[in-house]
Chains A and B, each alone.
Chain A
């Protein structure tokens, strides 16, 4: 599909899905800031922080997005003040190795 740089500089009406290309913004679901999860045995406060607290940055942020019709999760860099998506890419660009959550399972 022919979408030039001008489309990127407009407020969000289209988004470039790394899997499906340009799609209407209505097809995407916001999934929250990309924040590394605490270790499975981290103190409760750390988990509470991860679950509830937000950086809520006014500026460029890195977030999870879902292309709902294809159920595909990816990461987008977005300017929350200018309402523009700067870049979108598959999560394996950031998450290069699998995070194991079952290490130490069974301990309390």
Chain B
């Protein structure tokens, strides 16, 4: 339990603490400029300050703190991936998630509830058996379970055999959890700014100045700042910002929609995912069902909602939980996801000496927030890419050495 919370609870009068200092003027120069004040950028700033003693950092964002995909994902964290590279990477993240509330002294509301990925076809079961074996080999708790176990874990699920897509089995990943995504960003922001990192919201990067192979300054709508190193962490706008640095990326920006129901009595413990039915759902502590489906059928830089999405998602959800038919939706939203051809992220160095990239996070970025922040901080601080990130180098697409994770994406995209 985070001690700050306990102290707060014992206090006679409630004293809310100011999280971030008031906005300062931009300095002329920073050692490290991080573009993007989402979970990833803030985590990188935090670990740079805490583990590498680099505090002359500006985190710039054209919007407000964590107002992009950090606040639009569906808050699920897990590590039951398909490739050994992916599993090792996300598992390091799971280890960090476990201690994050204490580390940040900020309650991120990590809730361990188990994660069930349903199989409705033999081919799906085959991939799950593969995933389970890769997971177990790397010491990640993950196994194939069958309808009897599923009934025990989630009694409300329709396990009838006379439906269009009967449930044949599931990949069960007990460590699967959810975390309050806003709190993660606030916790990292607080921890970073406490150590001297400046967070500048509503500061749009408009260009980069280069001298040969180095970025010398970052141009913003509040003036130009010189910089020692730059880290780009702008999910959803990676191609646009990358273009300023002359980067060419294998990314399609595709909207991803999600929605939340009215609050219901608690009935759903685990996180339920069905790739075949393009649906995932879990119930928050407030009782709302958080629901999502596959990405939109074509790319775009827009966060509008569509009726097609809701019709498809809800029809499939009712296959799993028919009794939800009368439940109303409360909120809906969309984020912009950077889809890569192999469903894996792009992290590490670029063709420029002092420009680092953290991109291609498609629909799998939130769970990687701690590990990506920590390992990208290490990369920026030392100038060396740690081994755990080697496989995610952007050069893999010209070496034909991709990290194929499509089989472990929560739903078909």
Contacts and interface: CB of A to CB of B under 8 A. Distances in A.
Interface of A: 11, 25-26, 29-30, 44-45, 48-49, 52-58, 80-83
B253 A56 contact: yes
Nearest to A48: B398
B308 interface: yes
B334 to A, nearest CB: 11
B234 to A, nearest CB: 12
B400 A83 contact: no
Interface of B: 237, 239-240, 248-253, 297-302, 304, 306, 308, 341, 397-398, 400
B302 A81 contact: yes
Contact of A56 (B298, B299, B304, B400): B299
A45 B399 CA distance: 9
A60 B341 CA distance: 22
Contacts of A48: 397-398, 400
B301 A80 contact: yes
Contacts of B253: 56, 58, 80
Nearest to B252: A54
B251 A56 contact: yes
Contacts of A56: 239, 249, 251-253, 299
Contact of A52 (B250, B298, B299, B308): B250
A29 B299 CA distance: 11
Contacts of A83: 300, 302, 304
Contacts of B308: 25-26
B304 A52 contact: no
B297 A49 contact: no
A92 to B, nearest CB: 23
A45 B248 CA distance: 13
A24 to B, nearest CB: 9
If over half of A's interface residues share one DSSP class (helix, strand or loop), that class is named, otherwise mixed; here it is loop
24 contacts: A11-B306, A25-B308, A29-B297, A30-B298, A45-B398, A48-B398, A48-B400, A52-B250, A52-B341, A53-B249, A54-B239, A54-B249, A54-B250, A54-B251, A55-B239, A56-B299, A57-B239, A58-B240, A80-B299, A80-B301, A81-B301, A81-B302, A83-B302, A83-B304
A53 B248 contact: yes
Contacts of A45: 398
A82 B302 contact: yes
A56 B299 CA distance: 8
Contacts of A49: 248, 398
Contacts of A25: 308
Nearest to B308: A26
Contacts of B398: 44-45, 48-49, 52
Contacts of B298: 30
Contacts of B300: 80-81, 83
A62 to B, nearest CB: 13
Contacts of B251: 54, 56
B304 A11 contact: yes
Contacts of A81: 300-302
A30 B299 contact: yes
B298 to A, nearest CB: 4
Nearest to A26: B308
